[in-house]
Amino acid sequence: MIVEDQGLVRSLFERWLAAMPRFTPAGSARSGEAALRLVEKERPDVVMVDLQLPGMDGLEFVRAARQFRPHLRALVVSSLTDPIALTRVHEANVEGYIEKDATPEQLAAALEAVAAGENHFSRKFRDTLAAESAKVEGVGRILSRREQQVLEMVLARKTNREIGDQFGLGVRTIEFHRANIMQKLGARNLQELMEIAALRGWKQRGEGRREA
């Protein structure tokens, strides 16, 4: 099955897949929601899925689809190559990743591998994660002790007032700490903050956090 929101790309993938004798097309969809309905009906073995989709993204779709198709294997085909996006893919337990600028031969090799029960991640994917891992600096070396305490509660989705009450601080002070945390870690929103913190080895209290 193909899950791709760009009509031209989806059509090209469909034609390419139809010409491969090893595979039987199980349909295509432009959104995760539509693809979920198709998965229930067609019960595919492998899905080629884009990361960026309207509504739920590609990884959310895979997680949802596996609730009623547990052995569904996923090959992510995307133009995103930034470390945050690739870290999300790495942590999502999909079986493969390849860039959209890959050659048809490279895409075929990736799909063949995933369908055969193997994992297949492009060299760019592996090199990016390896480089990011080598330069990662722990949250404890970047944030002050107070900022780490505030981060703990921000990631627990506490409001500024709840955090302030916890530490006996005003809401404006918490806002200041939150802004500093976002700036120091290079995050634009809560989702990115969670991903960057995880990438830098941060775990919530009670989950074996490695940072002091």
Supply angle C-alpha 42, 44, 49, rounded to 5.
115
pLDDT band per the 50, 70, 90 thresholds, residue 210: very low
Main-chain phi, psi angles of 47, to 5 degrees: -130, 135
2-134 CATH fold: Rossmann fold (3.40.50)
Is residue 77 a contact partner of residue 48, using CB atoms and an 8 Å limit? yes
Domain with CATH 1.10.10.10 in the chain: 139-199
CATH number of 139-199: 1.10.10.10
Residues across the chain: 212
| Tokens representing residue 52 in the block | 């960026």
- The answer to whether residue 148 scores a pLDDT higher than 80 is yes
pLDDT, tens digit (0-9, with 9 covering 90-100), for 173-189: 999 999 999 988 888 88
- For the chain, residues classed under CATH 3.40.50.2300 are 2-134
**Band of the pLDDT at 208, cuts 50, 70, 90?**
very low
How far, in Å, CA of 24 to CA of 19, rounded? 10
Say whether pTM exceeds 0.95: no
- pLDDT, one tens digit per residue, over 80-102 is 988 888 888 988 889 999 999 99
pLDDT in the model for residue 198: 80
